[in-house]
Homo-oligomer: A and B are copies of this chain.
Amino acid sequence: MRRKPFRSRVTSHEVALRAGVSQSTVSRVFSGGEGLSQATRQRVLDAARDLKYKPNAIARSLSTRRTQIIGLVSSHMTNPYFPLVLQAFTQRLHELGWKVLLISAGLNEDVDELLPEVLAYQVDGLVIVTGLHGRRITEEAQRQGLPAVLFGRYAMGSGVSAVSCANYEAGREVADAFLEASHRRLAYIGGLEDTSANVDRRKGFVERLAERGVGGCQEELGVFTYHGGYEAATRLLRSASPPDAIFCANDMPAFGVLDAARDLGVRVPDDLSVIGFDDIPMAQWSPYNLTTVRQPVEEMIEVTLELLLERIDNAKAGSVVRFLPGILVRRGSARLIH
């Protein structure tokens, strides 16, 4: 039963033939490389070079039951900083010698549908970078004993590790910053997704306000786009009691807020302070110059991969949830003390 060979027709057998050794020896040269004489190793390498031989990773995976592939799961990205995160994960994984299988679903599709397909490829682990969806994917990974780490979100009690920004604390810090600058009419504009991130930002903000005796914070929820922010701000600023400070759970709607304020003649930061979240590159642009909470993305990625790879090496490593502090970056859109 002869079949059409793979595109790269050269296999370890042919290298073995040319080098005058057995296939096993060729294999050993290209994998561990233990207990080989310098001479044969060199002969094999020469033969391989001549034939332009590259080990077939598929065959290797089948034999070792390790694919060296990480599944990178992402749902529709409402947040413009997600793509950068994917890019960063991919590069870092490449550096560490892994390949990345990308799984991404649209706004209305469910990533969960794709999981079985991906598991079929025997990925060694999963990084889950997704807001709304992916609850089932998490459970399923856990059930299968497939190492997985959630990024930017957590699921307590699920047994799945997670790395996230300390959103609750950041929310409190923003509240404090506003209050110390004597703002008293506060508003919160929150994202669409009912994720731990959004819940915690709001909770931290509102709770801290309450602790310091400021109640009745106005809220606009389900806002995650520029236009949504524009409209929400328009409503708020035209209302009977317009806020003098707005905390946006994401930068994108914060830009909309700033443009709405300008269009309504509300001066920033004199009449209105605005603080966003994420610190995407646009936050530095001159018309916005947005004060915002920066997520320590680089570090979060690093920790995520540490946890994941450790779990892959050592199947019985426990699950961990790590919160990394956000940094309030003070620019011009908020009137704050110091």
Contacts and interface: CB of A to CB of B under 8 A. Distances in A.
A237 interface: no
A122 interface: yes
Contacts of A99: 101, 117-118, 121
A69 B226 CA distance: 36
Nearest to A226: B285
B65 A62 contact: no
* Contact size range, A: 35 or more
Interface string A37-74: 00000000000000000111111011001010100100
A67 to B, nearest CB: 7
A251 to B, nearest CB: 12
A203 to B, nearest CB: 30
A6 B100 contact: no
Nearest to A93: B102
A91 B65 contact: no
Contact of A54 (B3, B83, B120): B120
B90 A8 contact: no
Interface string A101-126: 11111100100001011111110000
Given A58-B62, A101-B99, A117-B99, A146 B7 contact: yes
Contacts of A102: 72, 86, 90, 100-102
B104 A101 contact: no
A327 interface: no
A125 to B, nearest CB: 11
24 contacts: A4-B65, A7-B144, A55-B120, A56-B62, A56-B120, A58-B61, A58-B67, A58-B122, A59-B62, A69-B121, A72-B102, A77-B83, A82-B83, A86-B102, A90-B102, A90-B103, A91-B105, A94-B103, A226-B281, A226-B285, A230-B286, A255-B285, A256-B285, A263-B286
